[in-house]
Amino acid sequence: MIDTLYEWIWWDRFWLPVNLTWADLEDRDGRVYAKASDLYVTLPCAIAFLLVRYLFERLIATPLAASVGIREKARLRVADNPILELYYLSHSRNPGQAGLDGLSKKSGWCVRQVERWFRKRRNQDRPGVLKKFREASWRFVFYLLALIGGVVSLYDSFCPEVKEGRGG
């Protein structure tokens, strides 16, 4: 069973063009091809990036936000109503008029109160200013470092005279 599944997943016709097989992609004659096992390194890299992001947001972005005056405001919690909460989580975050009428009857509130409850509940789920700042600062630093890394790695190919010592 497992062998059949393995063969089906790695079927030549599924991954490769018609005139190519997996045997054609084996290393020989000085040619080295990428292997599927090369992808195993991506999981530790992803975990490392998540850890670096978490540490950056906690140790750098949050104090930076506090220094520029960005603070998390205390959000108002909506009134506890299990009927509306169940509908919000299972059916819709923004019910139509028929849904509002039915929920109004079930909860014993008027339609306007139910509308207000849903609006406040949706606002309660929105990310705060501090969270947005932390995410935006992480994106800025990540893409800035990616840009710098790209420029550094391509610098020799754009400026070979600098590498040879001839200068400008």
Q: pLDDT tens digit string along 23-70?
A: 888 888 888 888 878 888 999 999 999 999 999 999 999 999 999 999
The pLDDT tens digits along the chain (168 residues) read: 888 988 888 888 888 888 888 888 888 888 888 887 888 899 999 999 999 999 999 999 999 999 999 998 888 888 899 999 999 999 989 999 999 999 999 999 999 999 999 999 999 999 999 999 999 999 999 999 999 999 988 887 777 666 666 555
Question: What per-residue confidence (pLDDT) applies to 106?
Answer: 92
Q: Which CATH superfamily is domain 82-125 in?
A: Homeodomain-like (1.10.10.60)
Question: What per-residue confidence (pLDDT) applies to 162?
Answer: 63
In angstroms, the CA 1 to CA 11 distance is 15
Domain boundaries, the chain: 2-72+128-164, 82-125
Query: Contact, 92 vs 147, CB < 8 A?
Result: no
The amino acid sitting at 157 is S
Question: What per-residue confidence (pLDDT) applies to 30?
Answer: 84
Mean pLDDT, the chain, as a whole number?
A: 89
Question: What per-residue confidence (pLDDT) applies to 25?
Answer: 82
CB within 8 Å of 20: residues ≥ 6 apart: 12
Cβ neighbours around 62 below 10 Å, total? 17
Task: Calculate Rg over the CA atoms of the chain.
Answer: 28
Residue 92 has φ and ψ, to the nearest 5°, of -155, 145
